[in-house]
């Protein structure tokens, strides 16, 4: 799998328009453009998701990332790419679709 390396400043949303942000600021010694590289070790939360099912609120609340198998790690955790597999999920862990990653300037590409 190849893709652009995500950093702490990546603009990510849920498929319904909610905003995805790191629960904790990614840290570590590896940086791109002055920002820490994002990894699967970081938790990501969703705020402002307006999704409903049959009129009942069913918002996305977090993102579950799947390790991409590139073999590239930071502090032992796989890095996140704009092509990494992920699902936005409800509080009951019901998958609601993949996050939407805004196209950004390519800084580092992993192949």
pLDDT digits (tens, 9 = 90+) for 17-28: 999 998 876 666
Q: Where are the domains of the chain?
A: 1-104
Find tokens 């319904």 and name the residue: 16
- Cβ(32)–Cβ(60) under 8 Å? no
User: Which residues sit opposite 53 in a β-bridge?
Assistant: 56
pTM of the predicted model, to two decimals? Answer: 0.83
Q: Give me the pLDDT at residue 58, please.
A: 97
Decide if pLDDT at 53 tops 60: yes
- pLDDT of 57-77, one tens digit each? 999 999 999 876 778 888 888
Find tokens 């994002």 and name the residue: 38
pLDDT band with cut points at 50, 70 and 90 for residue 5: confident
Q: In sequence order, which ranges of the chain are alpha helices (DSSP H)? A: none
């Amino acid at each position: 799998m190849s893709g652009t390396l995500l950093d702490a400043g990546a603009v990510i949303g849920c498929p319904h328009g909610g905003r995805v942000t790191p629960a904790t600021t990614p840290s570590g010694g590896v940086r791109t453009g002055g920002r820490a590289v994002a990894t699967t070790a970081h938790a990501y939360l969703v705020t402002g998701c307006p999704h409903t099912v049959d009129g009942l609120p069913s918002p996305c609340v977090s993102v579950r990332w799947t390790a991409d198998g590139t073999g590239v790690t930071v502090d032992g955790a796989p890095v996140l790419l704009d092509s990494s597999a992920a699902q936005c999920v409800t509080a009951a862990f019901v998958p609601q679709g993949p996050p939407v990653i805004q196209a950004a300037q390519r800084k580092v590409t992993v192949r």
